[in-house]
């Protein structure tokens, strides 16, 4: 069933809207899921960018805890991510400097015996947390982190259904991918025969509600009142969740994280829960089939979006307008763009970005994602630590 429609006064609506824009437009005041727990190793580091910044991540062999550094050696700025784990420590492959987990250099092989390690021989560290099968990274200040709950995958229906999650790295700017998930009127056409049906396309409006630190969009198809529709939420800066709403009881939901790795690129992370997963995972063979099939199906659906978004991104880079003739079904996109303008005016997290989304894209789309691998992670129960 659909969420109840709030009975707000016009004043309350205006207050909620102002609160949302005031409280959510900071890209660095949030935890980002980045790497599946099963990919973080004690034997070798891995590299990924977040908000344009190169990071190196590994698992401390002594404590098994995730460690995240700026991927830039304190000696001569070589990438630490191409280094190795030696004697339980991250070691730079250039001149062999070794690091403790607090980011301080603990060993310099070429240092003369009567010299001590320079006081500034350290790299920036980032807080990390592991939950629901993912390693999450906090890119902001420690002070801001105190007020924010520890992260876990968001499931709009709540409860403890098993989730299937995974990721794909895409050469699409995270903002364009995110917009795509706020746009239910594309589904019958872009995804005809997979998750959509063009014969079911009909008139559509969106009811947009401001709920504290997130907004909720309710899809309304006046000509098809019995159709399964979606309620979707945007949790800034980069999380979208979908709840499928029908007249029968349903607890299916999905969350999508469009992680801004760097300009024109993103890591797309999904977490899906369907009620039939519960019975499927009780039968090992069936559970294996579901775990094998869903990442492949997700990639097929995603590639349908990819064909649209890469072309759109290229055209925006050539100066095209992102929204020539908006209609009622585009309301969430317009709301997101409004949020973007306020966020970028307030505190751009990368100097190349402006308050126009179409200015942020580059002409460096290489259509490489058709061969990108969809990486699945083991199914988790929400709330698993």
Residues near ligand FES (CB under 6 A) are: 73, 75-76, 78, 92, 94-97
Q: Which is nearer to ligand FES, 110 or 193 (CB)?
A: 110
Q: Cβ of residue 295: shortest distance to ligand FES, in angstroms?
A: 37
Question: Cα angle vertex 338, ends 220, 52, to 5°?
Answer: 115
Q: Cβ of residue 68: shortest distance to ligand FES, in angstroms?
A: 18
Q: Is 177 helix (H, G, I), strand (E, B) or coil?
A: helix
Tokens, residue 211: 């709920």
Pairing type for strands 125-126 and 105-107 reads unpaired
Q: Which is nearer to ligand FES, 123 or 131 (CB)?
A: 123
Q: Which residues pair with 163 in a beta bridge?
A: 380
Q: What φ, ψ does residue 217 adopt, rounded to 5°?
A: -110, 135
Q: Cβ of residue 122: shortest distance to ligand FES, in angstroms?
A: 13
Q: Cβ of residue 79: shortest distance to ligand FES, in angstroms?
A: 9
Q: Which is nearer to ligand FES, 37 or 106 (CB)?
A: 106
Q: Fill in the DSSP letter of residue 9.
A: -
Show the DSSP H helices in 67-220 as ranges. 142-145, 174-181, 187-190
Q: Cβ of residue 77: shortest distance to ligand FES, in angstroms?
A: 7
Q: Cβ of residue 76: shortest distance to ligand FES, in angstroms?
A: 4
CB 183 within 8 A of CB 332: yes
Q: Which is nearer to ligand FES, 57 or 73 (CB)?
A: 73
Q: Which is nearer to ligand FES, 76 or 367 (CB)?
A: 76
Pairing type for strands 84-86 and 66-70 reads unpaired
333 burial (CB, 10 Å; 0-12 / 13-18 / 19+) is buried
334 burial (CB, 10 Å; 0-12 / 13-18 / 19+) is middle
Q: Cβ of residue 46: shortest distance to ligand FES, in angstroms?
A: 18
Q: Cβ of residue 87: shortest distance to ligand FES, in angstroms?
A: 15
Per the listing, tokens 């727990």 go with 37
Q: Is 14 helix (H, G, I), strand (E, B) or coil?
A: helix
CB 125 within 8 A of CB 145: no
Q: Which is nearer to ligand FES, 93 or 375 (CB)?
A: 93
Q: Which is nearer to ligand FES, 76 or 213 (CB)?
A: 76
258 burial (CB, 10 Å; 0-12 / 13-18 / 19+) is buried
Q: Which is nearer to ligand FES, 19 or 94 (CB)?
A: 94
Helix axes 174-181, 284-317, angle to 10 degrees: 120
């Amino acid at each position: 069933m659909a969420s109840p429609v709030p009975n707000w006064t016009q004043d309350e609506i205006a207050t909620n809207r102002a609160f949302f824009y005031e409280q959510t437009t900071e890209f660095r005041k949030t935890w980002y899921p980045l790497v599946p727990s099963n990919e973080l190793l004690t034997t070798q580091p891995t590299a990924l960018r977040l908000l344009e910044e190169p990071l190196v991540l590994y698992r401390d062999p002594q404590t098994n805890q995730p460690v995240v550094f700026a991927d830039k050696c304190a000696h001569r700025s070589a990438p630490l991510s191409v280094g190795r784990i030696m004697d339980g420590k991250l070691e730079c492959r250039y001149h062999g400097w070794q690091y403790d987990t607090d980011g301080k250099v603990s060993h310099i092989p070429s240092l003369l015996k009567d010299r001590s390690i320079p006081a500034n021989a350290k790299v920036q560290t980032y807080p990390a947390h592991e939950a629901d099968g993912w390693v999450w990274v906090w890119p902001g200040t420690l002070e801001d982190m105190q007020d924010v709950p520890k992260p876990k995958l968001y499931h709009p229906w709540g409860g403890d259904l098993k989730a299937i999650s995974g990721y794909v790295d895409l050469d699409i700017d995270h903002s364009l991918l995110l917009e795509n998930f706020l746009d239910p009127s594309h589904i019958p056409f872009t995804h005809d025969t997979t998750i959509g049906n063009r014969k079911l396309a009909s008139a559509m409006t969106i009811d947009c509600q401001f709920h504290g630190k997130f907004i909720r969009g309710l899809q309304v198809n006046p000509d098809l009142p019995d159709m399964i529709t979606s309620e979707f939420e945007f949790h800034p800066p980069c999380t979208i969740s979908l709840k499928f709403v029908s007249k029968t009881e349903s607890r299916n939901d999905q969350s999508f994280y469009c992680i801004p790795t760097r300009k024109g690129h993103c890591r797309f992370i999904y977490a899906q829960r369907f009620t039939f997963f519960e019975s499927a995972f009780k039968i090992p063979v069936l559970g294996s089939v579901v775990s094998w099939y869903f990442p492949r199906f997700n990639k097929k659906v995603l590639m349908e979006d990819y064909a649209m978004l890469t072309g759109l991104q290229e055209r925006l880079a050539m100066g095209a307008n992102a929204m020539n003739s908006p209609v009622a079904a585009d309301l969430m996109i317009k709301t997101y763009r409004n949020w973007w303008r306020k966020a970028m005016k307030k505190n751009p997290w990368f100097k190349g970005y402006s308050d126009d989304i179409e200015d942020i894209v580059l002409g460096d789309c290489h259509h490489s994602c058709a061969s990108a691998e969809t990486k699945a992670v083991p199914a988790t129960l929400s709330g698993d630590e």
